[in-house]
Structure 1
Amino acid sequence: MSAQGSSTTEFSQDLSTWRSAVFACAGLTVPQVDISRFFTYLLPHSGPITAGKFDAICEDVLASQYDNGRWISFEEDPAQGKKEHLGFGGLVKIAQAVESTVRTKFSLEPTAVLDSAPDNVPGSKRRSDTTRPDGYFILRERQCTEPHWIDIAFPAEYKGQDGVKETNDDIEKTVWNMHHIMREDARRRFAFGFTIENRTVRLWFAGRAEVLVSDPFDFVSQPKLLLKFFTTVMYATTDDLGWDPTMTLVPETDGKHQYDIQVAVSTDPMPVVYRTTRLISNVGACRLRGRGTRVWEVRQLNANSCFTGPPRVLKDSWPDTDRPREAEVLAQVLRDIGSVEEAQDFFLTVEAAGDVSIGGAVDQTLPESDRDQLYARDNGEEPKRFDLMQVDNSERATQGRDKTLQSLDGEVRGSQVSSFSALQHQLQEPVRFCPKTHHRIVFKEVCKSLNEEIDLPTILVALRLVCKPLNLMHKSGWVHRDISAGNILIVVLGDRVKVKLADLEYAKKCERGPASSTLHEVRTGTQDFMAVEVHAQDYKFLPESMIIDQDPFGPADPAIQGLAEGIIPRRVRVVIPPPELDEELVFTYNPLHDLESIWWVMAFFLINKDVRLVLWGPEKPLLPEFSETPTARSIRLPKQAKFAHSLFLYGRERVRLMEIGYKLKNKIAKYLHPALRALGAPLNDIRVALIKAYTAAEVDVRNIDHRAAQTVLAQLNTSLAQAAMLSSPDPFSIEVPSSIARSLKNDASLKTTKRKPSDNSTIDDDGEDGQDGEDARDDAEARGGDFRSDRKRAKKGQ
């Protein structure tokens, strides 16, 4: 199950690259709001510190900590300090003074305390993570004995200087910190942060629909504002700081976080509690804004907190508030399909579903009405936007900025941001995400996604089978709109595979005529598998001129005949076409786009994956035409990687590929492993069928329905059957265990393994295990795909 706009491409990562990708996801600019409105609409306001108590706190703290216009702990500005982090140690003293005053006067203990430890790396479930904030408000009653990201409430970044370079560094790190909080712990619904450059403070907020920043204030000359900020955060409830009270962190087992999760059901006033046993996917959590989808295998708990019933699958996400929920869509799709035999077998069965409620209210991001009030300016000016990359107009800085923008053009997708989507954030108007609602759904079936499968024949058979439920949807007037390798689920039983089509959240009735009145600025779909037209939101195969039924001059107008004799036309009777023919065409998703996504899934497994040949026995050697020497491989693999990047990382080649004259078979022959080259023909046949179908259908784009997709559907069935057989010739079968990027990174030679047909294990010739569990986790998260976290499956290459 994938998330909107997510990616499943595998590319090697480092922390700075991850940060840049997440930073691009936030957008080029974010709303900048009045500090008073930031306090009113975003910061906690249900804590025990009333206005009267706050005045008393200010009086005491300022009397002991503030003198002659300065904080006593800041005798000089941080810019004059020798060491940056030491220059902000005074903030901890101020927070401690607040804590002491509140304890003495009101007998209250803080929820969070301010700490400064810039040289220490907080704990993280990702061992490779070295994120190190300069300071943070951290829970007083911690889950972990040592500082850990799951206990950090409000990370801080400090700079002694307030120049452009320092400000930009703080911004990038803070956006990353907020993303990391929501990615690290499934309980975090939103996150805060704050930055200080010399004396300038900014407060930050990130949720599933927005990232924004407050107006700056001077913490030295505005001491009461600093105290208001500190007391608000220190004495807030954990709910108001972003933790989800309907999820409980279970003590770690084998170093893995598990959760007890409440799911509301309409038939019972008490929620049903499920305990996670295995993380299936956290692809959505790797994107700063969006659905934030996580999927677990779970078991229901009884009143004694013991497992009851069989394993289930729980999906936690943030769908758009104005969209119908997935269970509603699935039920309507099945009703519209009607009594087609075995239709239910192609879809998941819902056991429980409901929106999440916290404190008696549905858990939502800011509704539009609150957004408008939040963005409004107290002085009546137009809403402001803050540049996430502050500009230094010196010549040296301009050159550096140009290099940064160029690097974003080639950014990886560690956070589900491709370079071509990141570049759009730079070139387009800011994207306004729709308000979102926290929702959970539980399915009865436990399957694995196509992302988890490495056997190529199984993958291709599954792609052929999933065309059937897709066709049923199309015939009943529906389009799926999010076909991906993560949304095609499989169960492999011996030599047979069963498929289920999942994630119908964005499925929609086909529109005929004018577009729907409900508009969403964010495209639906998974980037790697999105149809070219859907990504562009424009038709690419329209005829060069739209044919009008009536010739405006008539077939034999005398004026036209007279032109040949030099007669100047006068008083010609012209037929004006009806106004609707002049209306701009509004792009609408149609069934062909779903089928193109199937094609992109197939292309992804053939082009973006490295192969491993599995011999069925020692009696037949590998034929020379299927083998590859280490030297040939070392020459070919970078070329394949470059081709894969052009399609699934940069995206520049995708539009050209959907042109009829594109030489796809030639590229397959040059760049792919010899064992895959025969599959170039069926892959290309489907591509050509798609182009022809688009060209024929877009003569009349207002009336495209499922009939336009029938020729492509037939070609998919034929070509996928051919490809499946070609992927398992005697005497070997093809597996696709890793990405091209990972193979290049590891510089591994292709290993030919031996096994019996009934043995599903794969072991390298040298007897070494494959990637360990942590690498498998990091790799799967980097590519945005589903992964199995247990060590045994990681060793088996899955």
Structure 2
Amino acid sequence: MSSCSTISSESLWTHKRRRDSHGSTKSKQAARESKVEAARQVHLENAFNHLLELGVDAWLQSFVDDSPLSLWSNTNVSTVMASLTEKGVLSDEKHWGAVRSGLDSDLPENDVYKVVETLATQVQVAAVAVNKDAKPTTALQSTPNSPAESSVYCLAKAKPDGHFTVVRRMPKVNDPEPKPQRDSTWMDRRDRGLRISRSLDDTVAIAEYKKEKSGRPENERQLLGNVAQVMYNDPRRIFSFGITIEKTSVRLWHFNRSRICVSKEFDCEKEPYALVRVLLFLSFASQQQLGFDPTVMKGEDGTEQYFRYAVGDKWYRTVGDPIDEDGAYFLIGRGVRVWAVKECDQGGKFLSEELNVLKDAWQWDDIPTERQIQEDIMRSLAQRTKISFEDARAKLAKYFLTIIADETLTSTPKKPSEAQQISFTQRPTASLPTKSRSQRTTQSVGPHGPENGQAPAPVEQQELAHHCRTNQRHVFKEMCSTYYEVCDLRVGLEVCKGYVEGISLIRVAGYVHRDISGGNCLVYEGLPKISDLEHCKRYDSVSTHDAVTVTYQFTAVDVGLGKICFPLDKADFPSRGAYLKATVNLPHHHFHFFHDLESVFWVASHHIVNSIPDDPRNIPTVDSVKAWHTTVKRYFNDTTDSILRRQRLLEKNLDELYRALQQWWTAEVTEVFYGLFEFAEVLIAQYKALQKQPQVLLTPDALDRRWPEELFTSDAYDTLISLLDEALSSLPSKVPVLQTWAVLADLEQAAAAEGRKAKRSKLAGQ
């Protein structure tokens, strides 16, 4: 078997950032198209409640810089339109009939809308005639049959009908017949010296066209999926633009991590002014105006592509592929990217050999930075336990990451006052196991988007407040591994004790973490570290963003299902009368301290069942390990069904897992697991004990009822630590393990090698 890998089992499929080239496995076209459409549906649902509509003038005012000196000012637009009229591009009535002519002649869609590229070129020429010093920064290409080049693998390759991409100026040459170079298009090189990229790295706007208005739903799905890939592909991107045309009806789009703003439709034949102005803006705006972040720079070192992030007064250069960028796959949300980095100078030269970790994310504007949250927890612990702040820091610092630099940068624009929330033309189907799908900010992503074990159901649109997001950037000193990567069962259980101790201290400080998972539980030189504190908050506080989406594989079942899952029954009371009296006012479900503790229990349980010992009781085969992998996913998956199964596990002390583990582990070791799994009974008893106590109101709103903090004692935490100690006392000094997926990968690789060997032998006539 191979040594322990550093790749999470949840990221096996993942979209690695390409340095030179990438590929994907071939599959049947029909199956692939079905998966692509599924991915588009996921993007549609992710953005469903975040679509705002503005009048055309209001949209232009909000998202197009209105400086009177700009090339796209009202005065210059009028001048450019007059020039286009003089040249016959527009009619005397300043109408543009090119699209209509194509529609009337029944040309194919690609030919009808090729005229949009022609108009963009004519607009640029007219603008340069107005201002001799003006130079286009982008060019519009019609590329309906050519997928755009991407730096990351994604199943649904971007294949826009048209896209504005950054141009690069080349020295003028006298070659009468310049030839296009590989992976690039050259436009009129002799006269204009422009190299036009086809890369998503350089794409600033996507265009989608349809000959009939009935094609609007498809336009929206394609536009949203392609723009999401633009944002996912490039860490430098703050926002992006889009244009859709159905027949002659145009809508203008602006996308960021907080919301999507679309203009009301207008007729490009009768009212070309707004289209001309947007074409001017997209042609001549600076990269920053077009959505590129000036604090993130892309560089190349040989065949390696890297990024340089500015944090405070320092620069940090990425090393290798992202540690995590799954969150950036979704357009609306935090867009989290995590990198290994080293400090560098502004030119990219390394100034240090120490590996640190950089986290870049878009948080709600009312969420403090991780440094502020750490210090707030430490301060609260000091006040509540009557110790000095330094002593509180010493107690908690060993469980937290050390922040060496942090900064809050750009914010998304505020919601325009005139904007009205609307729906997409086509409603998405439900694919995420949560009622508040629109507010989902972290998701475990599979190659086709999040998985779901339930039949699709219509999504209910919610009227949201549409708060802004701010770009928070942190650099952490410790380069940790995740809990997934622990390759010794004994070490895993030891570290798990530290997580229990850490969240117990956070409880004493009056805070709940709210997103404990195998990815947020880290290990640094054998020591536990609890990360991702952005959802951490005071238990007794009420805020706009209390509803948080957690990692479903490890969430407490109450939280995952959004209800109290272990209610009191008659057996919990001495008499029927006492039962009826206690259940007159049913308690309100809310996140509390024991939910964090349950998540730690699930993290430990997942580590046990997802690990196969080096010396298993039965020899693993491809079939047996595949079946085991399916079993593990059945309980620890991003689905509602998975959470329901874990509810049943708790009700029966995880007996099913205990019996299933016997195929890999000896009887002595499975007895150790049996003792640890008894914590399920303790958890349910704690949940039921809470329900016998009255809740208190934090605000006049009845939905803000919670159990008093003093009910959450250390007993359950101490019990879990005691059970972990008992388990550790019965285990050998070393218990090497491999994750299920790693064992399966080794077996499949060995089988493939054996197959090739047999084929060669057959060909050789042996």
Q: Same fold (TM over 0.5)?
A: yes
Matched, 1:65 2:89: yes
Q: In the superposition, relative to structure 1, how do residues 605 and 40 fare at CA in structure 2: closer, same or farther (>3 Å)? A: farther
Distance 2:619 2:593 in 1: 40
Q: In the superposition, relative to structure 1, how do residues 81 and 275 fare at CA in structure 2: closer, same or farther (>3 Å)? A: same
Superimposed CA distance per residue, residues 455-514 of structure 1 (whole angstroms, 9 cap, x where no aligned partner): 54443332222212211111222221221222222124xxxx112111222222221xxx
| 1:527 Cα deviation from its structure 2 partner | 3.0
C-alpha contact (below 8 Å) 1:727/1:733 kept by paired residues: no
C-alpha contact (below 8 Å) 1:475/1:706 kept by paired residues: no
- 1:614 partner letter: D
Distance 1:465 1:431 in 2: 39
- 2:248 partner letter: R
Q: Which residue of 2 is the match for residue 468 of structure 1? A: 501
With the length of structure 1 as denominator, give the TM-score of the two structures: 0.73
C-alpha contact (below 8 Å) 1:79/1:161 kept by paired residues: no
Q: Which residue of 2 is the match for residue 429 of structure 1? A: 462
Task: State the identity as a percent.
Answer: 22
Matched, 1:214 2:214: no
| 1:717 Cα deviation from its structure 2 partner | 2.2
- 2:614 partner letter: V
Q: Which residue of 1 is the match for residue 46 of structure 2? A: 25
Distance 1:716 1:765 in 2: 45
| 1:303 Cα deviation from its structure 2 partner | 6.8
Matched, 1:274 2:316: yes
| 1:708 Cα deviation from its structure 2 partner | 3.0
Q: In the superposition, relative to structure 1, how do residues 650 and 162 fare at CA in structure 2: closer, same or farther (>3 Å)? A: same
- 2:495 partner letter: A
Matched, 1:614 2:614: yes
Q: In the superposition, relative to structure 1, how do residues 692 and 491 fare at CA in structure 2: closer, same or farther (>3 Å)? A: same
Distance 1:118 1:588 in 2: 49
Distance 1:169 1:97 in 2: 29
| 1:286 Cα deviation from its structure 2 partner | 2.0
Q: Which residue of 1 is the match for residue 327 of structure 2? A: 284
Q: Which residue of 2 is the match for residue 510 of structure 1? A: 539
Distance 1:538 1:71 in 2: 58
| 1:747 Cα deviation from its structure 2 partner | 11
C-alpha contact (below 8 Å) 1:22/1:175 kept by paired residues: yes
- 1:602 partner letter: A
Distance 1:253 1:693 in 2: 58
Distance 2:9 2:266 in 1: 38
> 3-state SS of the aligned residue for 1:441?
strand
Q: Which residue of 2 is the match for residue 353 of structure 1? A: 406
Q: Which residue of 1 is the match for residue 633 of structure 2? A: 644
- 1:54 partner letter: V
| 1:374 Cα deviation from its structure 2 partner | 3.8
2:683 corresponds to which of 662, 674, 690: 690
- 1:343 partner letter: L
1:710 corresponds to which of 709, 714, 722: 714
Matched, 1:38 2:38: no
Q: Which residue of 1 is the match for residue 356 of structure 2? A: 312
C-alpha contact (below 8 Å) 1:591/1:706 kept by paired residues: no
Q: Which residue of 1 is the match for residue 163 of structure 2? A: 136
Distance 2:612 2:639 in 1: 26
Q: In the superposition, relative to structure 1, how do residues 174 and 458 fare at CA in structure 2: closer, same or farther (>3 Å)? A: farther
- 1:65 partner letter: V
| 1:667 Cα deviation from its structure 2 partner | 5.1
C-alpha contact (below 8 Å) 1:506/1:524 kept by paired residues: no
Matched, 1:102 2:151: no
Distance 2:504 2:169 in 1: 52
C-alpha contact (below 8 Å) 2:244/2:250 kept by paired residues: yes
Q: Which residue of 2 is the match for residue 263 of structure 1? A: 311
1:385 corresponds to which of 418, 422, 444: 422
Q: In the superposition, relative to structure 1, how do residues 426 and 661 fare at CA in structure 2: closer, same or farther (>3 Å)? A: same
Q: Which structure 2 residue ranges, 5 or more long, are not aligned? A: 1-7, 15-31, 171-182, 185-196, 383-390, 435-442, 696-705, 757-766
> 3-state SS of the aligned residue for 2:165?
strand
| 1:139 Cα deviation from its structure 2 partner | 1.0
Shifted more, 117-126 versus 675-684: the winner is 675-684
- 1:126 partner letter: V
Q: Which residue of 1 is the match for residue 230 of structure 2? A: 181
Distance 1:525 1:631 in 2: 32
Superimposed CA distance per residue, residues 96-125 of structure 1 (whole angstroms, 9 cap, x where no aligned partner): 110101111112112221111122222111
After superposition, residues 741-756 of structure 1 pair within 5 angstroms as none
> 3-state SS of the aligned residue for 1:346?
coil
After superposition, residues 561-640 of structure 1 pair within 5 angstroms as 587-606=589-608, 609=610, 611-615=611-615, 625-628=617-620, 632=624, 636-637=627-628
- 1:53 partner letter: N
Q: Which residue of 1 is the match for residue 190 of structure 2? A: none
After superposition, residues 218-237 of structure 1 pair within 5 angstroms as 218-237=267-286
| 1:327 Cα deviation from its structure 2 partner | 0.6
Q: In the superposition, relative to structure 1, how do residues 161 and 450 fare at CA in structure 2: closer, same or farther (>3 Å)? A: same
Superimposed CA distance per residue, residues 505-529 of structure 1 (whole angstroms, 9 cap, x where no aligned partner): 2222221xxxx44222741432332
C-alpha contact (below 8 Å) 2:71/2:280 kept by paired residues: no
Q: Which residue of 2 is the match for residue 771 of structure 1? A: none
Q: Which residue of 2 is the match for residue 758 of structure 1? A: none
Q: In the superposition, relative to structure 1, how do residues 218 and 303 fare at CA in structure 2: closer, same or farther (>3 Å)? A: closer
Q: In the superposition, relative to structure 1, how do residues 632 and 320 fare at CA in structure 2: closer, same or farther (>3 Å)? A: closer
Shifted more, 477-486 versus 416-425: the winner is 416-425
> 3-state SS of the aligned residue for 2:51?
strand
Matched, 1:413 2:440: no
After superposition, residues 183-202 of structure 1 pair within 5 angstroms as 183-202=232-251
Q: In the superposition, relative to structure 1, how do residues 235 and 421 fare at CA in structure 2: closer, same or farther (>3 Å)? A: farther
Superimposed CA distance per residue, residues 271-292 of structure 1 (whole angstroms, 9 cap, x where no aligned partner): 2222222422213212222221
Q: In the superposition, relative to structure 1, how do residues 44 and 123 fare at CA in structure 2: closer, same or farther (>3 Å)? A: farther
Distance 2:528 2:79 in 1: 65
Give the count of matched residue pairs: 659
Matched, 1:301 2:344: yes
Q: In the superposition, relative to structure 1, how do residues 282 and 247 fare at CA in structure 2: closer, same or farther (>3 Å)? A: same
Distance 1:421 1:204 in 2: 33
Distance 1:670 1:32 in 2: 54
Distance 1:767 1:297 in 2: 38
Distance 1:631 1:211 in 2: 46
- 2:682 partner letter: A
1:117 corresponds to which of 143, 146, 153: 143
Matched, 1:487 2:520: yes
| 1:337 Cα deviation from its structure 2 partner | 3.3
CA RMSD of aligned residues (A): 4.0
2:553 corresponds to which of 499, 520, 528: 528
Distance 1:351 1:292 in 2: 22
Distance 2:433 2:316 in 1: 42
